[in-house]
Amino acid sequence: MRERGLLGGGIDYLPPDPTSIEVKPQALDYWARTLETPPEKIRRAVEKVGPSLEKVKTELGIAGV
């Protein structure tokens, strides 16, 4: 069972695979907070390079974060 307090704000989403970005609202919101990047920008990057977190970060210009 996941505790709501882990992510703050009552958010109850944790990625099933922390190396892959799902394109669904809860996932995009989670990654937007984590990567400090707008969800729509993340969605476009995933559509372009696939769901790999490292590839998405490179596409967004935040590799190494």
Q: What is the pLDDT of residues 11-36, one digit of tens each?
A: 689 999 999 999 999 999 999 999 99
Query: How is 23-51 classified by DSSP, letter by letter?
Result: -SHHHHHHHHHHHTS-HHHHHHHHHHH-S
pTM tops 0.85, yes or no: no
Sequence-ordered list of residues with C-beta below 8 angstroms from that of 56, at least 6 positions apart, any chain = 21, 42, 45, 46, 49, 50
Distances (CA, A) of 55 to 5, 17, 19, 52, 63: 30, 15, 10, 5, 8
Check whether 6 has a pLDDT greater than 70.
Answer: no
